Structure 1
Amino acid sequence: MTFRLRAARTSDLEHLYEMAKLTGGGFTNLPPDRAALTAKLERAAEAFANKGEELVDEQFVLVLENLQTKRIAGTCQLMTMVGQQWPFYSYRLNTLTQYSQELDRTVRAELLSLVTDLEGSSEVGGLFLHPNERAGGLGLLLARSRYLFVAMHRKRFADRILAELRGIIDERGGSPFWDGVAGRFFGMSFAEADYFNAINGNQFIADLMPKHPVYVAMLDDEAKKVIGMPHPSGRAAMRMLENEGFHYEGYVDIFDGGPSMVARTDDVKSVREAIAGKVVDTDLQEGERAILATGRLDSFRACYGARAVDDEGGVAIDSASADALDVSTGDTVWSVAR
């Protein structure tokens, strides 16, 4: 069974909608709402149609397609410049140290401060793989193909890149972090706020959220212990991000407290190590396992395959990959070692 990643089309709407219903909350980039998903696909179509090289506020949507059945098994997204349509809020966890000479005592207090430090960064997000396909490294293909897309269209992305990981959601679909922090001010459940944010954006946070720092010591224990913790289903994704060179720098999501991972774009392993070469052979029998990609913007496609790079930079690939990518001798293929 062969899978390839490709640019999303408006005709993928129903597949994305069915997957969105499986996310389980806290997944604002893939809301189970046809109108919101349609708007997302239309915005992506505009981004794919833009042939310029300038860095502007755009969103790309990619889908993982089963080439035998033509069904969509997963999706991921890339945002080129966050915080342009409305502020990109995060909490920043930092420490305030105070000393009393009379008591000869030093007190350190952890604070959550509402910030827009990450505004202007690019973002990789919206990664979801259908539960029936969570094997065979397809999650890794979804995740790392995004970085090949960035490398292939480098001028369209910022010098800093981030990834938000979903925080802890309880069995009722609630968020201990939301209940302990923002929920006290909004009179909305986590599910209500999460859905409203996915559909309408987070301007309501700017309107209603207190601007003063929150002392962590004043939160209940359930909220404290989930700050910066990924959802159990996101632990593998956090390890993958760390392997790519992303770091947790104290930024957490304002809704569920999940960690925001940050990296310099050119330092991301799969961006830094991506190479481009002309295809010299499409019948390679044995070679290094790699992620292969070709095409520009709306013709982008990627898959797993085998490669062998010669001294002149030419690339030999296996026949199955050549078929999946629809490339032949002389075409350009980008790749990174698996």
Structure 2
Amino acid sequence: MNFVMRTARPDDLQSLYELAKLTGGGFTNLPADRQALEQKLERTERALSRQSEGIEDELILLVLENCETDQVRGTCQIFSKVGQNWPFYSYRLGVLTQHSRELSRTFRAEMLSLVTDLEGSTEVGGLFLHPRERAEGLGLLLARSRYLYIRNHRARFGDQVIAELRGVIDEAGGSPFWDGLAGRFFGMSFQEADDFNAIHGNQFIADLMPKTPIYTAMLNDSARAVIGLPHPNGRAAMRMLETEGFTNPGYIDIFDGGPTMIGQINSLQTVAHAQDVTLAGIHESGGEKQLVATGRLANYRCTYGFVRTKEAGSVSLDRASAQRLQMEPGQQFAMVARA
């Protein structure tokens, strides 16, 4: 394996655009729109140049680079604090229980309530790996590199982290959930609404969406069937999130009905079990495979490496991994076991 995660640069624009065209739609955080992607890169550049600590509304875009070809083959994102420039909407799936004495019956009705409960959370999203690279644990490297970035810059993030999974999309690129609910109020297709949201934000939801709870029994069968379900291609991502420590408490995406997973940053497996060590030496091969990360802000890099313990707090690292991380003996880095 000769891949490394690093922070994105302005010259990654064309590579990100090519990746975005491969997503098949429904990836709000990775639109196939050059201007929107350029704005993401500009936000990342501003965030990486800030030297003060503290939590601000920022975006960190990371990319997976093949060190042999210099090609960008994957990407993911971290939003430090959502819901600051416009409300962060979700549906909360709940149950209303009512009892009739006359009928001697209890009725339980599922309801969707439009909420902004998750405002202020950190969000991880925009994860996409080139279809030809979906092997050797690269998806896991993409996902967990975000948690090590958060750990290594802990003062810039809050306590809660969320991850929105893409919902079920049909073969035509439409969303059964959108068609059965929101599409009735907006007069636009799911693809049109998703593209608009990716570029302009979802304030139009606040302007046009009814605020009253929606009884799921009033939706058509197609819409009800996909509530809270991830896209088939996202099931592995959901399992990775669950392994990391995320739970599914019943929040769903307002566009496609996909689940929103929630975790506590300090309790995530990657964050809780990572340790800081000093690079005491470099060996040629062998050792225990670990996820290793070094550097701050624009210099952050993360890869798989092979570690040998020297003594408490110091280790040696295989030469290839040390080169990918651009590390020399005496430097510190974070490591955590490969799950």
TM-score normalised according to structure 1 size: 0.99
CA deviation string 1:54-90 (max 9, x = no partner): 0111100000000011010000000000000110000
Q: Which residue of 1 aligns with 2:102?
A: 102
Question: What CA distance in whole angstroms lies between the structure 2 residues aligned with 1:334 and 1:70?
Answer: 24
Contact (CA 8 Å) 1:226, 1:257: kept in 2 or not?
yes
Contact (CA 8 Å) 1:284, 1:306: kept in 2 or not?
no
Q: Which structure 2 residues correspond to residues 158-237 of structure 1 after superposition, within 5 A?
A: 158-237=158-237
* CA-CA distance at 1:129 after TM superposition: 0.4
Contact (CA 8 Å) 2:303, 2:321: kept in 1 or not?
yes
CA deviation string 1:277-313 (max 9, x = no partner): 1101111643221111100010001111111344421
Q: Which residue of 1 aligns with 2:91?
A: 91
Question: What CA distance in whole angstroms lies between the structure 1 residues aligned with 2:285 and 2:24?
Answer: 42
Contact (CA 8 Å) 1:284, 1:307: kept in 2 or not?
no
Question: What CA distance in whole angstroms lies between the structure 1 residues aligned with 2:301 and 2:294?
Answer: 6
Provide the secondary structure at the position in 2 that maps to 1:282.
strand
**For residue 312 of structure 1, what is the amino acid of its counterpart?**
A
**For residue 9 of structure 1, what is the amino acid of its counterpart?**
R
CA deviation string 1:141-176 (max 9, x = no partner): 000111110110011111000000000000000000
Provide the secondary structure at the position in 1 that maps to 2:212.
coil
Contact (CA 8 Å) 2:58, 2:80: kept in 1 or not?
yes
Report sequence identity in percent.
Answer: 61
Q: Which residue of 2 aligns with 1:81?
A: 81
1:278 aligns with 2:248: no
Question: What CA distance in whole angstroms lies between the structure 2 residues aligned with 1:51 and 1:61?
Answer: 17
Contact (CA 8 Å) 1:245, 1:263: kept in 2 or not?
yes
Q: Which residue of 2 aligns with 1:34?
A: 34
**For residue 87 of structure 1, what is the amino acid of its counterpart?**
P
Question: What CA distance in whole angstroms lies between the structure 2 residues aligned with 1:132 and 1:310?
Answer: 37
Provide the secondary structure at the position in 2 that maps to 1:260.
strand
Q: Which residue of 2 aligns with 1:137?
A: 137
Count of matched residue positions in the alignment of Structure 1 and Structure 2: 338
CA deviation string 1:217-237 (max 9, x = no partner): 111111001001000110000
* Cα distance change on mapping 1:3 and 1:195 into 2, 3 Å: same
Contact (CA 8 Å) 2:92, 2:115: kept in 1 or not?
yes
1:251 aligns with 2:251: yes
Q: Which residue of 1 aligns with 2:263?
A: 263
Question: What CA distance in whole angstroms lies between the structure 1 residues aligned with 2:92 and 2:308?
Answer: 45
Question: What CA distance in whole angstroms lies between the structure 2 residues aligned with 1:227 and 1:284?
Answer: 51
Provide the secondary structure at the position in 1 that maps to 2:109.
strand
Question: What CA distance in whole angstroms lies between the structure 2 residues aligned with 1:329 and 1:311?
Answer: 14
Structure 1 unaligned residues grouped into runs of 5+: none
* CA-CA distance at 1:274 after TM superposition: 1.1
Q: Which residue of 1 aligns with 2:242?
A: 242
Contact (CA 8 Å) 2:121, 2:161: kept in 1 or not?
yes
Contact (CA 8 Å) 2:7, 2:300: kept in 1 or not?
yes
Q: Which residue of 2 aligns with 1:112?
A: 112
Contact (CA 8 Å) 2:280, 2:310: kept in 1 or not?
no
**For residue 44 of structure 2, what is the amino acid of its counterpart?**
A
Q: Which residue of 2 aligns with 1:296?
A: 296
Contact (CA 8 Å) 1:48, 1:297: kept in 2 or not?
yes
Q: Which residue of 2 aligns with 1:5?
A: 5
Question: What CA distance in whole angstroms lies between the structure 1 residues aligned with 2:309 and 2:264?
Answer: 27
* CA-CA distance at 1:132 after TM superposition: 1.2
Question: What CA distance in whole angstroms lies between the structure 1 residues aligned with 2:214 and 2:310?
Answer: 57
Question: What CA distance in whole angstroms lies between the structure 1 residues aligned with 2:88 and 2:308?
Answer: 42
Q: Which residue of 2 aligns with 1:122?
A: 122
Provide the secondary structure at the position in 1 that maps to 2:87.
coil
Provide the secondary structure at the position in 1 that maps to 2:145.
helix
**RMSD (Å), alpha carbons:** 0.9
CA deviation string 1:95-138 (max 9, x = no partner): 00001111111000000000000000001101000111111111
Contact (CA 8 Å) 1:24, 1:173: kept in 2 or not?
yes
Contact (CA 8 Å) 2:113, 2:213: kept in 1 or not?
yes
**For residue 105 of structure 2, what is the amino acid of its counterpart?**
R
Question: What CA distance in whole angstroms lies between the structure 2 residues aligned with 1:176 and 1:308?
Answer: 51
Question: What CA distance in whole angstroms lies between the structure 1 residues aligned with 2:321 and 2:12?
Answer: 23
Structure 2 unaligned residues grouped into runs of 5+: none
